Amino acid sequence: MRDHTHPAVALHALALVAAARTALAAARSITERRAGSDPTTLEAPEAAREDLTVLAGEIGSHVARLRLRSIIVGEELSRAASLAQAFEDRLLLDDLARDARRAHQKLLSLHAEMPLATIEEARIVAQSATRLATEPDALPASGDAPASPEWLDLAERAADWLDALREAL
């Protein structure tokens, strides 16, 4: 496989990225557990609020990328480039789902102070992002095709939830 334009080269690179992300997530989880953090327990409100502030910034980045990908309609991509972009889109959805799940857990620690709708919306955003990450037809804009309605709905829903979260913090 010396031909670097062959689509299999892109597949190998994507497999490597996926394996590295999985290993990194496992290492982070192990480190957090060893440090005494248990994701199944409620945190002190102060720590949860601090973590939510950081998560809000990360989720804001994901929302901005979601919105950009929903409006960018560019030139025709090669098969390998199209595959790489679809993979990047799936990673974006996976990142949003992960961070929304973490935010939901942190919000549960603040359930007495937070609006119930904000807590529930975190769960819905996480579920929607996870579902879209696995659906083959729910992609953002590409070529001459506009973004799928599900993608647009998630982008708006996540942005509205993020605004409510920031206001509650």
Do both 78 and 96 map to the same domain?
A: yes
Do both 47 and 74 map to the same domain?
A: yes
Do both 35 and 55 map to the same domain?
A: no
For the chain, what is the domain count? 2
- Which residue range(s) make up the domain with 7? 1-41
Do both 27 and 88 map to the same domain?
A: no
Query: How many residues belong to the chain?
Result: 169
pLDDT of amino acid 149: 80
Do both 18 and 7 map to the same domain?
A: yes
- Calculate the CA 21 to chain-centre distance: 13
φ, ψ of residue 138 in degrees (nearest 5) = -95, 70
Do both 123 and 97 map to the same domain?
A: yes
Do both 36 and 51 map to the same domain?
A: no
DSSP line for 102-152: HHHHHHHHTTTTS-HHHHHHHHHHHHHHHHHHH-TT----BTTBPPPHHHH
Do both 66 and 127 map to the same domain?
A: yes
Do both 149 and 76 map to the same domain?
A: yes
* Average pLDDT per block of 10 residues along the chain, 169 residues long: 59 69 73 71 85 94 88 67 79 93 93 93 95 77 68 91 93
Radius of gyration of the chain (CA): 18
pLDDT of amino acid 20: 72
